Amino acid sequence: QWTNGVMKMYDHDMKLLKEKVYRGTNEKFNLAWNNWEKRKPIIIEPYVQSKKMNAFYSRLERSSYGGQLEFNSYINHLKTYEHTSHNEDIVRHETGHGILDVLRPEFMEQDRFQTHAMHESFGDLTCIFYQLSKPECIKQLLNETQGNLNMTSFITLIGEPLNINAPNGEIRDVNNDKIMGQTSCDGHDLSNVLSAIMYELIICYYDDLKQSLKEYSKEKALYVAQRSVRILFIRSLIEVPHPDPSFSALGSQMFRIVVSKGYSFPVHFSDQVRKAFTKRNIDITKPHRKYDEICPVPRGNQSNQSRKHPFCGTFEDSDDDE
């Protein structure tokens, strides 16, 4: 049901974009929509025997526009069985990989670390977006934080229940202050930067709505803020013109959408987009420089067809399942 809930959320977004925003005028969206309509149901393997705490999205056939989710079952250090398929965040994160692979299949075929990190960020933000689309979660968040969204909460932590039993694990928190150059090149670690930017934009737009639309309750303002930023994120990922986009290219695309008065944002919100990227050491005025990575990835080091995206590399131990 967690996978279905995410699929329904994004299906609604795609239909809204088709009917209210693009109306057949954008080539990249038309391609994404065609893939979306042709997608096949995601296959789920909920109890894969393993020595590792992990979960994966993997592609089955390039032409299927779908794939398979694999969730490990393992013995933890307390000598009890745990199942990653029983964790809502992990299921939604991996479902996010499958969805982005439908919308932009070429992203999985690239060597740029930042493109890999977009996949991981999309997975983590899928958890955030989904929870902030539920009134009960919004109410709980506002109560627990007393309205201060700039603090760690059950919303910002990804997959936290499993981290309790992962002695070497480091949980991802979208409420972080990491900047470019302070993470490893691993897509999971690097994704913290982009995820934090998007969460900051939700907060910025939430604050803006509270000031400009005082008739909105805090709950409604936060719902509208996350939904608007969610649409902006999806649009930017679909429209960004590169098959291997960098963070700067994605930020530049967001900026252009807001400036063009795309989907509900006031034009001045473009300044918030620029500032959010700039404070993380990302210059969106110089999008998509060819050599903007911290370190390169050797080409041809992995089969594109067999490539898997694990939930969290820090959850893996040194043992190999092979």
Low-confidence ranges of the chain (pLDDT < 70): 61-65, 161-170, 262-263, 291-322
pLDDT in tens, 22-74: 999 999 999 999 999 999 889 999 999 998 888 999 987 665 667 899 999 98
Tokens matching residue 88: 């809502």
pLDDT of residue 291: 64
pLDDT of residue 63: 57
pLDDT of residue 51: 86
pLDDT of residue 62: 60
pLDDT of residue 72: 93
pLDDT of residue 181: 87
pLDDT of residue 296: 47
pLDDT of residue 292: 66
